[in-house]
Chain A
């Protein structure tokens, strides 16, 4: 039998345990979410691709171009994939506890770990899908992104925003606010309309611009689009504003989840 190392209590070991738990949870999520044999992972690519083609075809049929002359398909596909990360992380939050309940019987596995593993996995998957689509668009339209790093950073910000919201949603669900579970999905669908997935701030009438910019997610979209389409368009974003939201949502979400924990026990 290989020697056991459970007694060692150093910080490095604690870190290794933590990383081991997160890795194990990510593998578990990969297996149940994307499936091992079936092509579940493919949906991550198929869904935005179908959408991009539909939007693109519609625009071509109506012979309408986007303001600023940017590539319609690139705009729709990248907007949707990145929104997919937000929807995936927040939309799956209400079931995070019950789906992993058997694993929470291990003292080393906490609900926070479950949430972190999901966010990391979802963000990484969306990052990968974005790269694939950007390369495809680059090859087909000869339209390459201005800054890959900026797009990557934007996706990370989207993941962090979603993580905070997801923790709050999960905490509310655990407090027995059953309605949260029911309205999360409709709200996520409606939010496509006003979170900047399919428009840019400068397309708006001036008086609406200030209102749309209250939502941090719109700043992230603008930031990503600057990385994609480069100068030549006016972009509206304030990274400090996004950072404040990320910190506020995650701190509040962390506390809410802690408060909700006693309600988890069956």
Chain B
């Protein structure tokens, strides 16, 4: 279970106080698949970083009883100066997975072949997103945080990701940030709209999109 209670986040930039999250309440359970909709600058990536535990909220509580992935689909999590294999070994070490197995799994799943021994900065954006997605699958998290990851790969790899995610729907939670209605409908059972620093949940997908489009 991952529970947020009155989570607030304020940034101070050049003397200006910017309130990004103003009391977010949410509970995510294993098996939940939630799409988060929000306009640019609504604080989606801040929320993802807080869910991942990378960033501390200014106030409020977070209860985290499951392993949560790092936010996928951003540039973070993978070091560009290291090779794909070294990144895999790094992640295997910090999350306590067998290193050689992780390298093999990632090379096969991300279809990197010999490129896995090249520095990540030489990868195409599709290769990068394949790598970080494969890395997160190798760790086997209880909860996955994704930002539009399916838009970066090609159609065949997207299908593969989709299958991997759908097959673990029972034992993992999925929190997906997206602008794309089709993506959210494919992966998620319900949706939430992040607006004005608050998160509003909608059981009904159509209703969520109606609210989102009126923003």
Contacts and interface: CB of A to CB of B under 8 A. Distances in A.
Contact of A107 (B68, B78, B97, B140): B68
Interface string A1-43: 1101111000000001100110110011001100000000000
A24 B115 CA distance: 22
A23 B99 CA distance: 13
A106 interface: yes
**Most A Cβ at <10 Å: residue of B77, B95, B101:** B95
A97 to B, nearest CB: 13
Interface string A246-266: 000000000000000110010
Given A16-B96, A103-B79, A106-B70, A2 B54 contact: no
B74 interface: yes
Contacts of B54: 104-107
B82 interface: yes
B94 interface: yes
A27 B93 contact: yes
B76 A17 contact: no
A11 to B, nearest CB: 15
B71 interface: yes
A24 B94 contact: yes
A100 B54 CA distance: 14
Interface residues of B, number: 37
Contacts of B52: 105, 107
Contacts of B97: 2, 4
Nearest to A5: B96
Interface string B59-77: 0000000111011001111
A16 B21 CA distance: 34
Interface in A42-83: none
Contact of A28 (B53, B76, B82, B98): B82
B139 A24 contact: no
B55 interface: yes
Contacts of B94: 17, 20-21, 24, 106, 108-109
Interface string A74-114: 00000000000000000000000000111111111100000
A54 B10 CA distance: 57
Nearest to B92: A24
A1 B108 CA distance: 13
A107 B142 contact: no
Given A4-B139, A31-B86, A102-B80, A24 B70 contact: no
Contact of B82 (A20, A31, A104): A31
A32 B96 CA distance: 22
A46 B77 CA distance: 35
B141 interface: yes
B76 A102 contact: yes
Interface in A123-153: none
A100 B205 CA distance: 39
A2 B105 CA distance: 11
A126 B56 CA distance: 36
Contacts of B28: none
A27 B90 contact: yes
Given A105-B52, A105-B54, A105-B76, 5 more contacts: A4-B97, A4-B139, A24-B90, A102-B77, A106-B91
28 contacts: A1-B105, A2-B97, A4-B139, A4-B140, A6-B67, A6-B96, A6-B139, A6-B140, A6-B141, A16-B96, A17-B94, A20-B94, A21-B94, A24-B90, A27-B93, A28-B90, A31-B86, A32-B81, A32-B82, A102-B80, A103-B77, A103-B79, A105-B52, A106-B54, A107-B52, A107-B53, A107-B70, A265-B49
